[in-house]
């Protein structure tokens, strides 16, 4: 049987690093196994699901290179869920309940105050036809709970190892709301079964759902998949990421922070695993290194600074072709490989290339604070064409003529040619600046 996994976000908000890490791990798992990856939108919460969030999810995954082989949308499948619900009702596994949310809260509070777990007491199972008729005549509509078997539920989790739950320690889950709409606990199982998902890889916030859902798989006659529950990412202080979603959304990392897709992928593929985090330029390399057995049970910490450092390391390695589109989007249409190779060692974000473009291609007010020396240097500028050896030839001649060396030689030249104390190697910049500009800048002119 071929491996099939899914990433099943709810389009109720922007994807953040925590969600997209699960997408990536599923994708890597599929690619490694030669299996397929399904993108499923869990959009049955019609009040909170929005088309723009669905589009955002597709955009983010595409940007990262996480292409999907299959696509499904839960809101297209209500007919199928109704069919399954009808069968579960007929077999007595779904039963109608009439408690209001307030009544349920009271029940829970009372159990908790007695030091007991807040498990639903199945009072609705004891209702007779006349009770139900009376409740419905009062205008109450039923929601429907799944009757769990009070037997052990066990699975071998690919991350957590053997997991054991007692059915009797779990509340019968509500699968159908009062308005007839099916809930995630059911829809996810129906989809996983119908779409032949072999491995469910998701966050450890779903461990208790898994216990319940295994029984639902069995009740609907679906093959129970293998499960893997990954610890959720926290921030550097150990707090859950949910409170900082805005700044950690994939969209803001891309659009505001200038993070490269492979920087995010290189980090998220390795975070919380036994592998070192290293810059990788292609997803194929991550596929080759991926093994779910490397995922540890310890809580991984996501540090935006680490991501930015990795972004810089990736930029220092990326060839021009991989950033040409981004440079053009910054308005640097004429940027070429020579420019990119000159400036990339000084960048942590592609957008910073604009500053160096301004130095090589726009007027710069030079810091020409040693005019006599600069005039001597200008007189020694070689004729063009210039190449990567020009800087060495020129400064060799300046050194021989003036007797200056080291910082006394190089810093005034850098300050005059670029207007700055630091920057990319002048060997690389000088040919980009060109003789005309260089000569003017050495003369203290803005050029
Ligand atoms: N829509 C669910 C969520 O975002 C999917 C969980 C699952 O993978 O089953 O939490």
pLDDT in tens, the chain (447 residues): 799 999 999 999 999 999 999 999 999 999 999 999 999 999 999 999 999 999 999 999 999 999 999 999 999 999 999 999 999 999 999 999 999 999 999 999 999 999 999 999 999 999 999 999 999 999 999 999 999 999 999 999 999 999 999 999 999 999 999 999 999 999 999 999 999 999 999 999 999 999 999 999 999 999 999 999 999 999 888 888 865 566 689 999 999 999 999 999 999 999 999 999 999 999 999 999 999 999 999 999 999 999 999 999 999 999 999 999 999 999 999 999 999 999 999 999 999 999 999 999 999 999 988 999 999 999 999 999 999 999 999 999 999 999 999 999 999 999 999 999 999 999 999 999 999 999 999 999 999
Distance 40 CA to ligand 1 centre (A): 9
CA separation (Å) from 105 to 110, 177, 362, 415? 9, 17, 68, 71
Taking the model in full, what pTM does it have? 0.94
pLDDT in the model for residue 237? 83
Distance 410 CA to ligand 1 centre (A): 59
Distance 273 CA to ligand 1 centre (A): 22
Q: Is 133 helix (H, G, I), strand (E, B) or coil?
A: helix
* 383 located within any domain: yes
* 422 located within any domain: yes
- How far is it, in rounded angstroms, from Cα 51 to Cα 6? 20
* Same-domain pairing of 335 and 388: no
Distance 8 CA to ligand 1 centre (A): 5
**Closest atom of ligand 1 relative to the 205 alpha carbon:** 10
**Closest atom of ligand 1 relative to the 203 alpha carbon:** 8
* Same-domain pairing of 396 and 376: yes
- The whole domain housing 415 covers 371-442
Reading the block at residue 342, the tokens are: 């000159």
**Closest atom of ligand 1 relative to the 42 alpha carbon:** 1
Top mutation candidate among 8, 74, 241 for ligand 1, by most atoms within 8 Å of CB: 8
- How far is it, in rounded angstroms, from Cα 342 to Cα 319? 12
* 344 located within any domain: yes
**Closest atom of ligand 1 relative to the 9 alpha carbon:** 4
Strands of 4-7's sheet, edge to edge? 4-7, 36-41, 70-73
User: For residues 6-21, b (16+ Cβ closer than 10 Å) or e, as one string?
Assistant: bbbbbbebbbbbbbbb
Region of residue 442 (phi > 0: left; psi between -120 and 50: alpha; otherwise: beta): alpha
- How far is it, in rounded angstroms, from Cα 307 to Cα 233? 14
- Partners of 95 in the β-ladder: 145
User: What Rg do the C-alpha atoms of the chain give, in angstroms?
Assistant: 31
* Ligand 1 neighbours (beta carbon < 6 A): 8-10, 42, 184, 188, 202, 206
**Closest atom of ligand 1 relative to the 22 alpha carbon:** 8
- How far is it, in rounded angstroms, from Cα 438 to Cα 444? 10
Distance 10 CA to ligand 1 centre (A): 7
pLDDT in the model for residue 189? 98
**Closest atom of ligand 1 relative to the 209 alpha carbon:** 9
Check: CB of residue 226 under 8 Å from CB of residue 200.
yes
Domain boundary among 361, 392, 422: 361
pLDDT in the model for residue 124? 98
* Same-domain pairing of 356 and 385: no
Distance 207 CA to ligand 1 centre (A): 11
pLDDT in the model for residue 384? 97
Top mutation candidate among 5, 22, 185, 206 for ligand 1, by most atoms within 8 Å of CB: 206
Task: State yes or no: cis peptide before 10, omega within 30 of 0.
Answer: no
**CATH number for the domain harbouring residue 425:** 1.10.10.350
The residue written with tokens 């596929």 in the block is 287
Q: Residue 78, class by beta-carbon neighbours within 10 Å (0-12 exposed, 13-18 middle, 19+ buried)?
A: middle
User: For residues 200-237, b (16+ Cβ closer than 10 Å) or e, as one string?
Assistant: bbbebebbebbbbbbbbbebbebebbbbbbbbbbeeee
Specify the residue with its C-alpha closest to ligand 1, atom 10: 9
pLDDT in the model for residue 247? 67
* Same-domain pairing of 383 and 428: yes
Check: CB of residue 429 under 8 Å from CB of residue 360.
yes
Top mutation candidate among 42, 183, 225 for ligand 1, by most atoms within 8 Å of CB: 42
Reading the block at residue 143, the tokens are: 């929601």
* 340 located within any domain: yes
**Closest atom of ligand 1 relative to the 7 alpha carbon:** 8
Number of domains into which the chain is organized: 2
Distance 225 CA to ligand 1 centre (A): 15
Q: Is 440 annotated as a binding residue?
A: no
Distance 66 CA to ligand 1 centre (A): 18
Top mutation candidate among 14, 195, 202, 226 for ligand 1, by most atoms within 8 Å of CB: 202
Check: CB of residue 176 under 8 Å from CB of residue 182.
yes
Check: CB of residue 325 under 8 Å from CB of residue 341.
no
Distance 9 CA to ligand 1 centre (A): 6
Domain boundary among 338, 361, 384: 361
pLDDT in the model for residue 241? 81
Distance 42 CA to ligand 1 centre (A): 7
Domain boundary among 361, 387, 422: 361
Check: CB of residue 258 under 8 Å from CB of residue 189.
no
**CA 53 to centroid of chain Cα atoms:** 14
pLDDT in the model for residue 246? 66
* 393 located within any domain: yes
* Same-domain pairing of 389 and 413: yes
Q: Please state at what angle helix 17-33 crosses helix 261-270, rounded to 10 degrees.
A: 80
* 416 located within any domain: yes
Top mutation candidate among 5, 7, 10 for ligand 1, by most atoms within 8 Å of CB: 10
Going by the DSSP 8-state scheme, the letter that residue 134 receives in this structure is: H
pLDDT in the model for residue 243? 58
Specify the residue with its C-alpha closest to ligand 1, atom 3: 9
* 401 located within any domain: yes
pLDDT in the model for residue 235? 86
Region of residue 250 (phi > 0: left; psi between -120 and 50: alpha; otherwise: beta): alpha
Reading the block at residue 368, the tokens are: 């020409």
- How far is it, in rounded angstroms, from Cα 181 to Cα 82? 9
pLDDT in the model for residue 240? 84
* 119 located within any domain: no
């Amino acid at each position: 049987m071929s491996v099939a996994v899914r990433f099943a976000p709810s389009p109720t908000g922007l994807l953040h690093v925590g969600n997209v890490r699960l997408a990536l791990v599923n994708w890597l798992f599929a690619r490694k196994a030669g299996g397929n990856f399904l993108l499923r939108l869990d959009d049955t919460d019609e009040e909170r699901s929005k088309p723009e969030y669905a589009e955002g999810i597709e955009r983010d995954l595409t940007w990262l290179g996480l292409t999907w082989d299959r696509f499904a949308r839960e809101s297209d499948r209500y007919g199928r869920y109704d069919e399954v619900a009808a069968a579960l009702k007929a077999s007595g596994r779904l039963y109608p309940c009439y408690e209001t949310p307030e009544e349920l809260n009271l029940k829970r509070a009372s159990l908790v105050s007695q030091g007991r777990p807040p498990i639903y007491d199945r009072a609705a199972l004891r209702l007779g036809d006349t009770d139900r008729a009376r409740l419905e005549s009062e205008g109450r509509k039923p929601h429907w709970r799944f009757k769990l078997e009070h037997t052990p539920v066990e699975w071998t989790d690919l991350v957590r190892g053997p997991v054991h739950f007692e059915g009797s320690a779990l509340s019968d889950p509500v699968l159908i709301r009062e308005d007839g709409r099916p809930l995630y606990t059911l829809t996810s199982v129906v989809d996983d079964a119908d779409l032949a998902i072999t491995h469910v890889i998701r966050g450890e916030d779903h461990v208790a759902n898994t216990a319940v859902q295994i029984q639902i798989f069995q009740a609907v006659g679906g093959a129970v998949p293998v499960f893997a529950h990954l610890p959720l990412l926290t921030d550097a202080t150990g707090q859950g990421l949910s409170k900082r979603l805005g700044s950690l959304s994939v969209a803001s990392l891309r659009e505001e922070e200038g993070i490269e897709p492979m920087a995010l992928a290189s980090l998220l593929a390795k975070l919380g695993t036994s592998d070192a985090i290293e810059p990788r330029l292609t997803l194929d390399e991550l596929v080759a290194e991926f093994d779910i057995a490397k995922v540890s049970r310890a809580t991984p910490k996501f540090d935006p600074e680490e991501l930015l450092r990795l972004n810089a390391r990736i930029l220092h390695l990326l060839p021009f072709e991989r950033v040409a589109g981004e440079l053009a989007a910054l308005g640097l249409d004429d940027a070429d490989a020579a420019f990119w190779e000159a400036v990339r060692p000084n960048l942590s974000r592609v957008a910073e290339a604009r500053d160096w473009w301004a130095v090589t291609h726009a007027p710069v007010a030079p810091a020409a604070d040693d005019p006599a020396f600069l005039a001597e240097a200008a007189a020694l500028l070689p004729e063009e064409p210039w190449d990567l050896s020009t800087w060495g030839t020129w400064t060799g001649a300046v050194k021989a003529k003036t007797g200056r060396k080291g910082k006394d030689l190089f810093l005034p030249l850098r300050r005059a040619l670029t207007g700055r104390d630091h920057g990319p190697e002048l060997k690389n910049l000088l040919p980009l600046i060109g003789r005309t500009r260089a000569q003017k800048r050495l003369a203290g002119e803005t050029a």
